[in-house]
């Protein structure tokens, strides 16, 4: 990401850059990338043209920074819960967090990363690759708990924990879209409950002598 983030910034420079990224992320979340101009971002961040172009060579650089910011924000907020995804209770706590967040948002906006990916995939190959990378990071958070369960002998050996992690993230993404479209958390709840029921039905007590996860 060297093209979007200069190596050394003063604390004040870092702060200004961050203000620009946060303003851009909010505008792109509210109205989409295509409808957000560099001038809109400049005004929303209360900076000058030359300040924006000091940190970002063009709109594409700004888009990459927004994807990185959303990846850090979204995956970062879930990290404490990822650490507990080696138990069904941990999955239920994660589910409750995700549903509560959508309620707080009044089901508006969907997933910021999913929306960026959907809008940019066919028109901006670099952004597509960046969003794919962000989803791999998210997926690895879900996967590590499932792998721990498998290693401890607490997951049906017929189940591939990596494929289950992919399916869980996919189900979450689609459910966030349906929840956004219907302005109702019911699809999110039904989908995550179904995935968790499936995971629960594939778990078993740790066998004697198995490594403790």
Query: 7-46 mask for a second copy (x: CB under 8 A)?
Result: -----------------------xxx-xx-----------
What is the nearest approach in angstroms of a second copy to the Cβ of residue 165? 9
The one segment of 78-86, 96-104, 130-138, 144-152 that binds a second copy by CB under 8 A: 130-138
Contact by Cβ (8 Å): 101, 147: no
Does residue 1 bind a second copy (CB under 8 A)? no
- Residues forming beta bridges with residue 155, ordered by sequence position: 203
How many residues contact a second copy, by CB under 8 A? 49
Q: CA-CA distance, 123 to 100, in Å (whole number)?
A: 33
Q: Is the CB of 47 or the CB of 195 nearer to a second copy? A: 195
Cα angle 158-162-164, degrees, rounded to a multiple of 5: 70
What is the nearest approach in angstroms of a second copy to the Cβ of residue 60? 15
Greatest CA separation found in the chain?
65
Does residue 105 bind a second copy (CB under 8 A)? no
The one segment of 9-17, 52-60, 62-70, 181-189 that binds a second copy by CB under 8 A: 181-189
Cα angle 75-79-84, degrees, rounded to a multiple of 5: 135
Q: Which of 114, 141, 145, 161 binds a second copy (CB under 8 A)?
A: 114
Does residue 171 bind a second copy (CB under 8 A)? yes
Q: CA-CA distance, 117 to 130, in Å (whole number)?
A: 9
Q: Is the CB of 96 or the CB of 210 nearer to a second copy? A: 96
- Residue 33, SS3? coil
Q: Which of 1, 100, 190, 210 binds a second copy (CB under 8 A)?
A: 190
Does residue 167 bind a second copy (CB under 8 A)? yes
DSSP string, 164-191: HHHHHHHHHHHHHHHHHHHT-SHHHHHH
């Amino acid at each position: 990401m060297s093209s979007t983030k200069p190596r050394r910034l003063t604390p004040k420079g870092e702060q200004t850059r961050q203000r620009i990224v946060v303003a851009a992320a909010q505008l792109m979340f509210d109205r989409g990338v295509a409808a957000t101009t560099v001038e809109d971002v400049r005004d929303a961040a209360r900076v000058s043209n030359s300040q924006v172009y000091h940190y970002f060579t063009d709109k594409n650089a700004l888009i990459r920074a927004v994807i990185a910011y959303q990846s850090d924000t979204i995956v970062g907020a879930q990290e404490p819960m990822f650490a507990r995804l080696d138990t069904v209770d941990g999955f239920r706590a994660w589910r409750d967090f995700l549903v509560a967040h959508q309620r707080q948002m009044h089901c508006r906006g969907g997933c910021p990363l999913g929306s960026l990916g959907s809008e940019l995939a066919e028109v901006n190959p670099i952004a597509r690759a960046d969003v794919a990378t962000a989803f791999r990071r998210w997926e690895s958070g879900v996967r590590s708990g499932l792998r721990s369960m498998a290693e401890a002998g607490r997951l049906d050996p017929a189940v591939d924990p990596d494929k289950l992690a992919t399916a869980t993230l996919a189900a979450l993404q689609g459910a966030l879209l349906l929840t956004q479209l219907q302005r109702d958390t019911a699809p999110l709840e039904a989908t995550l409950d179904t995935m968790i029921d499936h995971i629960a039905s594939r778990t078993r007590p740790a066998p004697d002598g198995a490594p403790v996860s």
